[in-house]
Amino acid sequence: MDRKPTFPPILVLILLVALLSMPPDVVAGALIQALDSGHIDWSAGTVRASGFAGPVATDDGVPADCPAELIDTARRTAQANLLQTVGAVRINAGSRVVDRMTQSAAFREVLASLAQNAAVTRQEYSDSGLQIELSMSLTGGFGQFVLPEEIRQVDSITTLATAEPMLEGPSKPEADADSGPHTGLIVDASGIQAKPSLVPLIVDELGDGVYGPAFVSREYAVSRGMSGFAATLPAARNDPRVGGRPMVVKAIRTHISGETDLVIANADAARLRSSVVHLTFLKACRVTVVIAAEDGSP
């Protein structure tokens, strides 16, 4: 008689803890930064945080039925956690959102307002109380407010974007071949302890810029972010933002300016610059960076 495989209880417990500790709706290959206060999903460009409120007890110790009060308490806690999580977002190699929050009360007030208006993505009642999860996008209004002023609007972006075909969808196996116009850029920064940021910088070995604020149109940086992020190269290839035939280059190290700034080989930089459409897809922020999970927490 065949015997069904069994698993040691301790292994089952470890698996359950791992699953429960994962942020909700995690997509394979996504780059998630887990914090005590919440999660930064760099691949989706969102920040999530939860708040909990236990049952309200009366003087005689009997839990009171006060759903409105529970909702208000849980939501305010979630908003505070969301604001704390957003503070951990790297703007560039030299600053995080929290740095600007501490420097300007007005800046903090605007972010607090954004947190108060964050969308409710999960609301769960249980015998122990109520848990509410909020989500805020790192693009749109947040991006317009937080992105540096040096990222300017490029008036000719519409003309540039239609000058060459920009294929959508995952890349094909022949994507590395120079058989047609490239539709985006993938920078493989796995294995070099790189970190994600809102404003990544890519330079060649001489320190000359290849990609950064001067290369993009604010219109696209605000609406989709300056760069996408993935934890694996296959996930990056499946990112629609880089189109069907992305150029793939390897980051050889992080720059002295910080872990969010990447250095690529001079030969790859020259190959990128020689592409007749590279300014087109760079201005449109058609860039995805691979930062592998084994590099540690983002």
Contact 228, 218 (CB under 8 A): no
**What's the CA gap between 76 and 53, in Å, rounded?**
10
Model confidence pLDDT, tens digit, residues 52-105? 998 755 554 445 555 777 888 999 999 999 999 999 999 999 999 999 999 999
**What's the CA gap between 189 and 259, in Å, rounded?**
10
Burial environment of residue 184 by CB neighbours within 10 A (0 to 12, 13 to 18, 19 or more): buried
Q: Is the pLDDT confidence value at 169 over 90?
A: no
Q: Is the pLDDT confidence value at 14 over 80?
A: no
Find, among 150, 172, 187, the residue nearest to 281 by Cα: 187
Average pLDDT over the chain, rounded to an integer: 82
Instruction: Read off the pLDDT band of 172 (50, 70, 90).
Output: very low
- List, in order, residues 6 or more apart from 285 with CB less than 8 Å away: 216, 217, 220, 221, 224, 225, 226, 227, 241
How many Cβ atoms are within 10 Å of 98's Cβ, its own excluded?
A: 17
> Rounded mean pLDDT of 170-198?
77
> Rounded mean pLDDT of 248-273?
94
**What's the CA gap between 202 and 92, in Å, rounded?**
12
Distances, alpha carbon 89 to alpha carbons 46, 76, 298, in Å: 10, 21, 10
Instruction: Read off the pLDDT band of 27 (50, 70, 90).
Output: low
Instruction: Read off the pLDDT band of 154 (50, 70, 90).
Output: low
Length in residues, the chain: 298
**What's the CA gap between 272 and 204, in Å, rounded?**
11
How many Cβ atoms are within 10 Å of 232's Cβ, its own excluded?
A: 18
Q: What pLDDT does residue 285 have?
A: 96
Instruction: Read off the pLDDT band of 179 (50, 70, 90).
Output: low
Q: Sign (positive/negative) of CA torsion 144, 148, 151, 155?
A: positive
User: Residue type at 61?
Assistant: G
Q: Is the pLDDT confidence value at 3 over 80?
A: no
Secondary structure of 90-155 in HEC code, one letter for each residue: EEECCEEHHHHHHHCHHHHHHHHHHHHCCEEEEEEEECCEEEEEEEEECCCHHHHHHCCCCCCCCC
